[in-house]
Structures are given as structure tokens and as C-alpha cells.
Structure 1
Amino acid sequence: MSHDALVGDWPGETARAPVAPLVRMVSGMAGIDATAWKAARPPESEGWAYLAACETSPPAALELAAVSVGDRSGLAAAAPLFALKYRLDTPLQDGPLAAFCDRLARRAPGLLEWRMLGVGSTFTDACPVALNPRLCEAGRAEAVAGLIAAVEAEAARRGTGLVVFKDLAPRELALLAPHLAAARYFAVESLPVAVLDLDGTGDLDGYLARLSPATRKDLRRKMKRAERVEVEWRTSLTGMEGEVRALYEATRTRSQVRYGDFEDLPDGYFETVSRALGTDAVFACYRVGGQLAAFNLLFVEPDRVIDKFLGMAYPLGPAHDLYALSWLENVRFCQRIGRRYLQTGQTAYASKLRFGSALEPRTHLVKHRNRALHAVLRLAAPLLAFPRWDPDLRRLGREGAR
């Protein structure tokens, strides 16, 4: 679906007055005042500019919008929205139950595929809800209530039953959970985010000293084999767009996990985001014999570096241990620019934990507008939890239980 079609489906200036006179449903982040948004959120790379950039050419399966709640002083609350057809078995990755659901979906496609309206973004690992910090407790409660009511009114207008506040980080969960619980939302555990704390490490040797002897020895051995690898740091992809996209798709194809439409990126994602974020988006490019063998897209924030995407050529990248080498380069980069945390996303947990990361939780808050289906989903919440089916987390859980 084109962006113009989305604008027609979600009009740019349509007022949703039943809840509050200053509630607006708009066609995307371009309809939210950028200055007001930034004032209502902590400094972040995946903020207004990033979200607006992702809207320029969205994947066909997604429809994008945004909602804002205002008061006499300006923006009180806002959030991006997305709509898609959600497969209820998305968390399942393998095993008999996943195979059964695949067979069922082929025979009765509508049974497992539900229309969903999401609060947040499929392009972020946290739910970017803006709440104006000047609000008192009562004002915040009113703003959140207006936001929830506006989202549910939009779901009703579209005939969508399933409403999800996607990937709430601890900060947003603390702010929103009491209000969402009062509106009958329940929690479904999402995939955690891996975060490496480099406080006090000083340099690479200081970081390595924190690891187990076996891991430290392994990484030092791989560092010695890196003579043929050239590393280039860039803030522009000019001339490399096709190579980078090809490496990303190659890595995605080989991934052991699949999350359907949540994995799709906008056309021209890497170039568009690079232009929108400027020097806050950095590419580390790894070449072997002149050939691009891997890249990292990194976002720079005031206290952290986010390792957003890794793309790798196969078998060239693994043959030169580029996953481990890129990890060490990212650690050096954090230390060089004075960032305490290296955040590395929601997959490949085994290596990240081995390299010293901790897991920061993410939580979906879910509601179905049909009370009977809502009750069924609530009972199924433990089965629908994403960590239950992630191969690394399942294996780590079994090992921890021994």
C-alpha cells in the first residue's frame, strides 16, 4: 500500500472528539510536532526523525499512523501506530506445536491471522510513547486515558479487535501499566534486549578482563586472526547501498528465528535513516581483500550505542570471525566516544550473554475488544510469551535448570 493510500485511510487532521477535544489521529509522525515530541521524550536516536524516516516507504504489510493528545499548553501525549495482520503463532519458532499451527493456517488462514492495531513501531525495540514531563499525576492520567481511548476508537473504526502496546521498556511500563491494567490490558512477555555495561572498563583489555577465562582466550585468538580484515567507519552509505542491503538480507535469510512482518524494513531503510540521523547513525564496514564482508549499523545516544543491524556475507564473514571482531570493535567505539552501554537487540542471546551482556525486559500489553476472545488470550498469555520459544533463551533456561 502506498503512503498516499495510508493518508487517505488515516486522514491527516481528523479529530477524535468523543474522548477529548484535542485528540487527533494523524497519518504519521509528520503530523506530530517534532519539537513538542522531543521535549516529551528522553534524548534518543529512535525518536521523531527516525520514526518519520521509516514512514517514507513502509513495507506493504504495514499501515502507519500516529495519535496525539493535547491540552491548553500543547502536546500532552503521543505515539506512533501500526496496523497489520498478525499471526497468533508468531512467537512459535519450531517444534510440534509450530508445525501444527502451520498446517492449520494453510487450511483455515483466517483462524490464526487477526487484524491488529499496535501502539509503538515495528522498527524499534521499545515502545516510543511521548508523555509531557510537565504533567502532574492527574494530568498524566488524563492524557494516558485519552491516548488509550483514541487508540481503541480507531481500532473500532477499522473493525480491528486486537490492540497491543508493543515492547514497553521498564520506564514506559512503569508509567503506563497502571492505566492500561485499569482498561483491562494484560501482559505478554516480549523478547528482552541485550545491554552490555562498560562502566569502568577503560579500554579493551579492561573489558576482556571481566569475561570468563575461556571467553577471553577465545576472543584474543580471534583478534590475532584479523590481519586481513579492514575496518572503515562511515556516516554515509553513498555508493554502498546495494551491497549493504544484500548483506542484511543474506543474514536475515540465515537467521534461526522468524517473526514475520515485524522483520520487514522500509525500502531504502539504511540510506533514509542515515540521512535522517546524520552523525548519530554510524556504519562500521568490514572488508576482506577489498570485498565488503560485513557491516554494522550503530545508533549513538548520550549514554549508549545501539547496535541496530548486522549484515554479513556467507561464508566469508564467519570464516574471518566477523561477529566476534565486530563486537570488539563496537566495544572500542563505545569506549572511544565515552558511552557506557552497548545495546545489541533482541536475538542471538547466547553470544551476547557470553560476551558479558545482561537482559533488559520488554513487555507487550494486550487487549481484545471482544470480551470472550480477550479472556481466551489472557489464559493463553504464558503460551504466547516470546522468550518461551526463542531457541537461545530456551536452551539457556534448560542449562540453568540443571
Structure 2
Amino acid sequence: MARLQACLETTPLGTSPHLPAHRGKSSMTVRLPLTARYFPTITDIAREDWNRLFAGHAEDFDYFRACETAAPNGIAASAIGVFEGERLIAAAPLFRTDYRLDMSLEGRLKPVGDWLHRNLPNLVVMPVLGIGSPLTEECPIGFDPGLTHMARTCAFYALIKGVEQHAAAEKIPLIALKDVTDRAAEWMTAPLDGRGFCRVGTLPLATLALPFKDEAEYLASLSASMRSDIRKKLRRAEKVEIEYRTSIDGIEEEIAALFQETRANRKADYGDLDNVPESYFREVMRNAKGNAVVMLARVDGQLVSFNIALIENDRVLAKYIGMRYPAAREHNLYFVNWMAMVRFCLERGITWMQPGQTSYRQKARLGCRLKRSYVYFKHRNPLINPFFQLFGPMMAFDKMEPDLQELGDSAPYLEPGAAP
């Protein structure tokens, strides 16, 4: 415990200048105290230093630089790093926004939240400093791969304390870690409990294992009714032509319009945290350096859908999809996109596909399992924080999501750590 307390002896935060890359070897342990530094932009950290902490991740320095350039309205992106001397050993993107505490309320409670937002906005809208990004589905905290478990825990403590210090300096009352999966929660929960954080469930991640040699074997893993349904839908989609590209030059406006059309047809709205600006698609595709692909579907030459995905060694992250209506229903474009991405993975020997959040009922029928995910949060005022801990469960997104409610106890959740 004394060693963990020493982890909190970080120096006061300040805005740091650009740091050159440090090319030393990873150490197995760390020398205390560690230093947490806030960076107004990720570009103040050397690309190779950042990527050393996120090795193998498609959501790397270039991805977060693109997200920062194309930050959604109401979101200010930045970063934090933890240093042992001048060596970066941990880092995470940050975002700042004004969050509606009643965002996840549905049913009879939603009109109450809307009334409070109109008449007493200060009660339901609160500035928040978040670890993560609105444009990721998993909380991205990177560590030097050579750290021991104890050293990583020390680095994590220092990172959290650094975020708390910056929030205090900026008078931001609420701190959150967005989309912590159950695998990370296994070791994060104890340190965060010790800092006064509590957690609520948020939207889980759908994950599809693909240990199949071909499409026929994948289809054979599904129920007979699902196989029959897919075959019927694909026969009705014979006019759809598929193309894979690594660039959206010349079609950026069409891509953005299709995304907005699909967003307008969704069941739920998550405000600024669900807002994807038009420039996001352009910036990600231009900066991905081969880690991104866009699947395009056309009917009679007209673009009717797209699916942007990030490619890792053994996993595809399906990020965003957009479809034209009513063509989406007429040509079963959801299933066309799904099967095209499954084929993409199988042809390349990729054994995991992560099709993200929402549409859980359909994804469960298509063979997906769900990774639990959480938001950890605290109010910096120790007198107010107990009320957040008491009423926080009312803000749980997973309890309000219609598909999860319908699935109920039959929702196919994975055991922690069962998927990458």
C-alpha cells in the first residue's frame, strides 16, 4: 500500500512543450515519483512514443490526431502522459464537454429531464473531463509494454491523479473514464474505488468470433432460421455491387450524407457523444496509413451505403455505417454490409470482428457475443460525490437500450477477457 501511495506523488501539472522521441528500452519497473503532464494536443507528443504504448492498435497516434482535427461540436480533445524522467510510460486521449446527466433517461423520466434542461439547466448540464474519446468504443489507455503489473498500476494511479489535477485547475467538476471494458475493469476497479470513483454500465461491445475457413462454415454456425433469412435477403440484393477502397476522395459529401441519414433512422440519440462531424471520415481515411478500409455498395451506379472499418492484425473494428433510405430496406443493405465484412475477414484470416454498439438483437442472431462496458465517474466535491454514487445507476445506458431490454437475461454476454 505504501508503494501505491507513492504512485500519487506526481508533480504539479502544466502545459508541456513538444517532447522529442525517447528511444530507450522499456524498463520492467519504475522509479518514483512519476510525473503526469497535460498536453493541449496529441501532436505535442512524439508519434513513435505514443505508438510504442499502443502497439498493434489501429486506433493509434494517427487515428487520434484525425479525431482531434475533426472533433465533434462541443468536444475539446487533448491528451495526458505519465513520465518516468523524460520517458513516456503511459498516455491517454482526453476530451472535455458539457454533459447532460439525464441523457440516458427514457420513458416516464425523459420528460422530467427535458423540463429540467429547459428550466434549470445547471442541474442537469455539467462540464466533464473524460479519459477516452467520443470516437472510440473502448477506453484507450496505453502503457509501456515492458512494465510489470505493479509498475503499470503506479502509472495508472499517476495518470488518474494528473487528470484530477488538471480538472481542478480548469474548475471542471466531473471526471469520467468512458467505455472501460470488463477486461480492463478487472484491474482498474480497485485503484478507481480508492480515488472515489463509482461505475455504471454503458453500451456493451458486440464481438463476432470468426474461426471459420469460409462463409459456408460461418453460416452453418447460425440458427436454421437465421441462415434461411440471410439467404433470402441476399437473393433480393443481387443488384448490389461491392467495392473496397482505402480512400474516399471525391465522395466525402456522399459518405457524410449517408451517415446522417442512418443516424436519423436510429432508435436512440446520445447527444454530443454520438455526434460524428463530416470531416471525421475524410481525416481518418487520409491519416490511416493503410489501417482503414471503406466498403462501398452501389445499385445501378448510385452509392447506397458505406462501412468504414479499422484493420488490426487479428481484428476488424467496424466503425461507422451509412445507408440511403428507402434503398436500405429494399436491398437489405444491413445484411449486405454484414456479409461483405465477414467475407473480408475470412479471406484475410482475421478471426475477430467488432461491429460496435447498438442493434444488439440482430447482432446476437448473427452470432455476436457482448463485452460488458462501464463508465467510471466521480465529482471532485467530496460532499456531492456520494449523491452521484447513489443516483448514478439511474444513468446507466445499458439499462435504457431497447434491444438489451428486449434480450433481457438471454443477452449473450461474454466472460471477462474472452475476446480481444
Whole-Å Cα distance in 1 between the matches of residues 288 and 313 of structure 2? 14
Does residue 58 (structure 1) correspond to residue 71 (structure 2)? The answer is yes
Equivalent of 1:384 in 376, 391, 395? 395
Contact 2:199 2:392 in 1 (8 A): yes
TM alignment of 1:164-203, pairs within 5 A: 164-199=176-211, 201-203=212-214
Equivalent of 1:32 in 38, 45, 59? 45
CA deviation vs aligned residue, 1:238-291 (integer Å, no higher than 9, x gap): 111110000001111111111000012244111110111132211111111111
Whole-Å Cα distance in 1 between the matches of residues 73 and 124 of structure 2? 20
Whole-Å Cα distance in 2 between the matches of residues 224 and 342 of structure 1? 24
Contact 2:132 2:139 in 1 (8 A): yes
Does residue 13 (structure 1) correspond to residue 8 (structure 2)? The answer is no
Match of 1:349 in 2: 360
Match of 2:342 in 1: 331
Contact 1:47 1:128 in 2 (8 A): no
Whole-Å Cα distance in 1 between the matches of residues 231 and 288 of structure 2? 34
1:86 maps to amino acid: Y
Equivalent of 1:375 in 377, 380, 386? 386
Match of 1:258 in 2: 269
Alignment root-mean-square deviation, CA: 1.9
Contact 2:34 2:85 in 1 (8 A): no
Whole-Å Cα distance in 2 between the matches of residues 26 and 20 of structure 1? 20
Whole-Å Cα distance in 2 between the matches of residues 354 and 216 of structure 1? 10
Give 1:318 deviation, angstroms.
Answer: 1.4
Find the residue that maps to 1:367 and give its secondary structure: strand
Find the residue that maps to 1:381 and give its secondary structure: helix
TM-score, scaled relative to structure 1: 0.92
Match of 1:294 in 2: 305
Find the residue that maps to 1:372 and give its secondary structure: coil
Match of 1:3 in 2: none
Contact 1:58 1:267 in 2 (8 A): no
TM-score, scaled relative to structure 2: 0.88
1:28 maps to amino acid: T
CA deviation vs aligned residue, 1:154-209 (integer Å, no higher than 9, x gap): 1111111110011112343234222112111112111100001111x211110111
CA deviation vs aligned residue, 1:68-127 (integer Å, no higher than 9, x gap): 1111361121111111101011122x3110121111211111110011110111110011
In structure 2, relative to structure 1, the CA distance for the partners of 1:172 and 1:161 (3 Å cut) is: same
Equivalent of 1:205 in 216, 219, 230? 216
Match of 1:395 in 2: 406
Match of 2:152 in 1: 140
The count of corresponding residues between Structure 1 and Structure 2 is 386
Whole-Å Cα distance in 2 between the matches of residues 237 and 387 of structure 1? 34
Whole-Å Cα distance in 1 between the matches of residues 366 and 148 of structure 2? 42
Contact 1:187 1:381 in 2 (8 A): yes
